[in-house]
Structure 1
Amino acid sequence: MKRRKFILSMGLACIAAILLTTLVPVVNNYRRLRGKKLLQEPKFLLSICNSEAVIALGKIYREKQIEIFSELKLLKLISNDNSFEQENITEEILQRKIIDDYKKGDTVMVSGWILSKTEAYQCALFSLGKEK
C-alpha cells in the first residue's frame, strides 16, 4: 500500500509540475496583452469623441514627433518612470500618471487639444494599432 501511495503522489506531482510550466506563460501573456490594451486606449478621450478623432490626433502627433515611430518605443515612453510594469498596469495607475502630467505641465498641443504626454502617446499607439 505504501508503494501505491508513493507512485500516486509522484504522478500527481508530475502532473502539477507540467500544468504549472504550461499555465504560467499563458497567464503572463494574458497580463501583458491586457496591460498593452490599457496603455494603447485613451479611455477619457474615447469617452468624449469618436475613435476616428483619436486616430487623427495620434497620427498628427506622430507626424510632429518624428522619433516616435514604433509601438515598442511608445510603450516604453508611456511606462518610462518605472513605477509600473506593462503587465501590472491598471486604469487607476494610468489615470494617476495622466493627472500627474497635467500637474507638472507635461502637456502638448495637438490640433487644438491640450493633451498630457501620456495621452498623446496613447493616441499615437491607438492610431498605430488601427493602421494595421
Structure 2
Amino acid sequence: MYFFTALLVASSVAFVNAGVNCNGSGNCPGIVGSLSDIVNISQGLDENRIYRPGEHIICIQSQLGNGLCAFLQGNSAENGHFVKILLKDLQNHGCKKCGSVPVDATQGGNDDGNGILTVNAVGSTGGCNGIC
C-alpha cells in the first residue's frame, strides 16, 4: 500500500512538471487535425490580442463538435505573437498532434508552474473552427 501511494505521488509530480512534451489525452491520436494544421492557422492570429488561460485560441473541429484545440493553462495570459512562437517550439520539439510547452521555454526554462501552452483533444470546441 505504501509503495502504491509513493508511486502515485511520484507520477503526479512528474505529470505536473512535464516540461516540453508531446503528451495528450487518450483521445488525441484519433482526433481530427494536427499540430502542423494548428501552426499554419496560427499565422493569422492577431499578434496583439491577449489570450487567457482556458480560452480556446485555435481549434480544428470535427463533425461531432469535438476537436483539437490550442489553449493556455496556468497563470499566464499571452499575446498572439508569443502564442505563435510557442506553437512553433512545440512543433520543433517533434510533436505531431498534441503536446504542451511551458511559457518560459523560450528563455531556456522548463517550469510548468509559470503557465503552459497546450494543444490537445477537447470534447467540445465551443463552435470554434479556426481562430477562436
- TM-score w.r.t. the length of structure 2 is 0.31
Is the radius of gyration larger for structure 1 or structure 2? 1
Larger strand fraction of residues:
2
